[in-house]
Structure 1
Amino acid sequence: MNITIDERIETLYSVAFLNDYFLINKHENLYKKKLRKNLQSLKNHKAVQLFDSLSKNYNFSYYRTVEWVLQFSDFPEFKKIKEKADNHKTVSKSKEYLLENFREELIKFNQDTLFQSYLGEIKPINQKVISQIKESQTISELPTYLEKFYGKKLNSYNLILSPLLHSGGFNSEIINQNGEKEVYALIGPNGEIDFMPYFEKNYLETDLILHEFGHSFVNPLMEKHDKEIESLKSKYFTEKLEKYSKYQGYSEWKFVFNELLIRATTIQIAEKHFGNEKVKELLEYEKSIGFELVENILGILKEYEQNRNKFTDFDKFYPTLIERMK
């Protein structure tokens, strides 16, 4: 597993921080202190203004922002050299010129003397954060846990830690110049200690990493079985679930179902490697945010685990999962 703090993501999220973006984490840390103290003059930078317009008016938010950034080379060139794995537009075709304008302004923002000084100041902090994560004896085992459960392999596992990102994460899939799929999990801290961003081991390893990389195993099945998933909508997508789902950032049923499934498979993997107490903790959390349906799906997943000779990978079990849900 490759573990980094990425300058492209941090440039984007520094712009977002200066724009008071709603997905900036709520924890005070050294990064925020330095941005407030030294970069206030950049608050009116055109990159910040364009981000404000794109995020508020053209749906350039959530995973779309980081997925867009990962298609580009490093600064200062910041040229598009990769493609998204899916065919969905980041913004509508008529507004793509705004993204190009934003790319140009983001280069200027990154190269500004004040921001370059900021990057120099946070470099040793970044190294400390990454060193803390790499001290873990189990983090390198997580790809094996995922591959054993899903019965498949991914080409790469790229963990990007982002000190400004909300307490949670995103999954992104990018096709590189060789036509290979690069899989990313971008995760924000869940706290701070002495103003250092803190990625607590339990939060990071037994939940977020398994969850975000899990999307790369499960999302293709959502697209393949979208009609079957739609057939479950009238039974499960109640007014209550719709309300809670919107609060979590999901509005369309197939994405809600996919998210519930990912949360259930994460718990299933956690049970195997981290024990029943972890299962109780994760399940209680899902129930607390209105995702009680996760428990139903967990019951069905027992059949998958008990019949791995028949279901050699999760792809083969998916139609059975849908039938049991019906």
Structure 2
Amino acid sequence: MPKSILTFIAFFLSLVIHAQYEKQLSKNISLSINENFETYFFAEKLAVEHIGYYVFSNKDSRYDHQPLVSHAAAHFMKWKDSDVILKIAAVLGKLRPILNDNSQILEYLWYCKSFPKTGFKYSVPKDIAIKDPVKYPNAEVLVQELTELLNDFYKQAQVGEYIRQNKNYYQGAMKEAAKDIAVKSIPFEEKWYGKKFLGYIFILMPGMPITEGEDNYRAFGIQLETPKGKMPSMVFSSSVMIPKKENLSDYKQFGFDNKEVTKFLTVHELGHSFVNPLLHDFKKEIDRDTILFTPKLKKHLENSYINNWDNCITEHLVRLGEIRTAKLMNDKTEEERLRKEHTVTMGFVLLPFLENHIIQYESDRKKYPDFRSFLPLLFKSLDTLKPEDIDRMIVN
């Protein structure tokens, strides 16, 4: 067969593969599976056979509660001692003490063309995490080396073929998640914050290992940059423990049928895309009031993993946006549920104070067209508080 025909067939199959794992939920909201991410997690699971662990990949864990993780590990285990996996293990061994995570690796992989292609689909931003030489010394060089090795593994182990063979599982996972992503809430978030993005990307990671146990899952947001503008994304693992079956094709549940978690990720984590960039310009105001993060408040928020005033303010503002977005949608039930969940259950005791002040923002959007324009007043109000005022808000 002529080489040109083979090239065309390969190109056509590539288009078909990616079409199978990408779904438009609305005009500017998409849901997809990223083959580069899946390749990374398949390889990471093999690498930990040599280095013990990396984040939630652990040599001694079977991951029977995550069918695809368990099945893929068994399928690719014959590559465990291959030259490419040994090299990947060595690179991850060097990256582990530098990054302490793999989210920075995935962020870089998103900008890369889908394996087996090389190069980038979009220019890698100058401020991407791995390019920070102070916080992550030598990470950029190591991640670049890792990417080349992952591409080699993709080709040698025929990862693309494995993903195609299990398309029913991937499509089932996407179907489960798609029904619970709160597509209707995003325009209301945009309206409340006074900010619109080019689009929103949700990426499922069925191959990402998580620790067994109820309410265990992992997710993180990445602010992606394209030639047309910034696009917030949400990357998340399965969140439902699935009983083990003999074959991957036997599963009718895929680990993403979790309305509460999926909706939370949609609204809360995307809320960080609206809030976090704004706070870089208010570092002086935030640092000014660190005294308000009293020992009593720190203790009260420890179950929510809040360990400093910066995180405390960020999480309060994102949760404020959640509650007020629900109010804007006239969803009284969700508004009250969120208010109780965040204020009482999670311990974010500043929310009543913030809600009282945010009414001014909501009632005069001509004067305050976006959330950023109101933040100076909000920080000014916080500055009137004293540590004892904070402690009085806490009811044990």
Report TM bin, short chain.
0.7 to 0.9
Residue 152 (structure 1) shift:
1.5
Is the CA contact (8 Å cut-off) linking 2:292 and 2:309 kept in structure 1?
no
Residue 290 (structure 1) shift:
4.9
Residue 75 (structure 1) shift:
0.7
Flag structure 2 segments of 5+ consecutive residues without an equivalent: 1-28, 211-216, 243-251, 384-396
Residue identity opposite 1:172 in structure 2: I
SS at match of 2:146: helix
Q: Structure with the greater relative contact order (CA < 8 A, sep ≥ 6): 1 or 2?
A: 1
Alignment partner, residue 301 of structure 1:
358
Percent of counterpart pairs with the same letter?
21
Alignment partner, residue 174 of structure 1:
224
Residue 89 (structure 1) shift:
4.2
Alignment partner, residue 149 of structure 1:
192
Would you say 1:22 and 2:59 are equivalent positions?
A: no
Flag structure 1 segments of 5+ consecutive residues without an equivalent: none
| 1:181-205 deviations in Å (ceiling 9; x for gaps) | 2321112232155551224233323
Residue 159 (structure 1) shift:
1.2
Is the CA contact (8 Å cut-off) linking 2:43 and 2:88 kept in structure 1?
yes
SS at match of 2:141: helix
| 1:208-237 deviations in Å (ceiling 9; x for gaps) | 111222222212211111111111211126
Which aligned pairs between 1:93-242 and structure 2 lie closer than 5 A? 93-113=137-157, 115-135=159-179, 139-165=182-208, 167-176=217-226, 178=227, 180-192=229-241, 195-205=253-263, 207-236=264-293, 238=295, 241=298
CA distance in 1, matches of 2:100, 2:355: 33
Residue identity opposite 2:124 in structure 1: E
| 1:102-151 deviations in Å (ceiling 9; x for gaps) | 11111122223263443233322111222334446x74323312111111
Is the CA contact (8 Å cut-off) linking 1:64 and 1:90 kept in structure 2?
no
CA distance in 2, matches of 1:108, 1:242: 48
Residue 16 (structure 1) shift:
3.7
Residue 154 (structure 1) shift:
0.5
Aligned match for 2:77, one of 36, 40, 54: 40
Alignment partner, residue 75 of structure 1:
115
Is the CA contact (8 Å cut-off) linking 2:223 and 2:273 kept in structure 1?
yes
Is the CA contact (8 Å cut-off) linking 1:170 and 1:186 kept in structure 2?
yes
TM-score (norm 1): 0.83
Is the CA contact (8 Å cut-off) linking 2:271 and 2:322 kept in structure 1?
yes
CA distance in 2, matches of 1:24, 1:304: 45
Is the CA contact (8 Å cut-off) linking 2:276 and 2:314 kept in structure 1?
yes
Residue 41 (structure 1) shift:
3.3
Is the CA contact (8 Å cut-off) linking 1:155 and 1:182 kept in structure 2?
yes
User: Aligned in 2, Cα 1:251/1:23: closer, same or farther, shift over 3 Å?
Assistant: farther
Paired residues, number: 321
Is the CA contact (8 Å cut-off) linking 1:84 and 1:173 kept in structure 2?
no
Would you say 1:4 and 2:32 are equivalent positions?
A: yes
CA distance in 1, matches of 2:73, 2:375: 49
Alignment partner, residue 61 of structure 1:
101
Residue 299 (structure 1) shift:
4.2
CA distance in 2, matches of 1:159, 1:280: 27
CA distance in 2, matches of 1:48, 1:244: 37
User: Aligned in 2, Cα 1:224/1:39: closer, same or farther, shift over 3 Å?
Assistant: same
| 1:69-105 deviations in Å (ceiling 9; x for gaps) | 2121111124234223746544535443212221111
CA distance in 1, matches of 2:366, 2:221: 30
Residue identity opposite 1:266 in structure 2: E
Q: Which moved more, 1:224-233 or 1:253-262?
A: 253-262
Would you say 1:265 and 2:321 are equivalent positions?
A: yes
CA distance in 1, matches of 2:64, 2:357: 38
CA RMSD of aligned residues (A): 3.2
User: Aligned in 2, Cα 1:305/1:203: closer, same or farther, shift over 3 Å?
Assistant: farther
User: Aligned in 2, Cα 1:91/1:325: closer, same or farther, shift over 3 Å?
Assistant: same
| 1:266-310 deviations in Å (ceiling 9; x for gaps) | 232234437344345445544545544445434443443343343
Is the CA contact (8 Å cut-off) linking 1:155 and 1:181 kept in structure 2?
yes
SS at match of 1:191: coil
User: Aligned in 2, Cα 1:8/1:293: closer, same or farther, shift over 3 Å?
Assistant: farther
| 1:3-36 deviations in Å (ceiling 9; x for gaps) | 1111122222333444344346988122122123
CA distance in 1, matches of 2:335, 2:316: 15
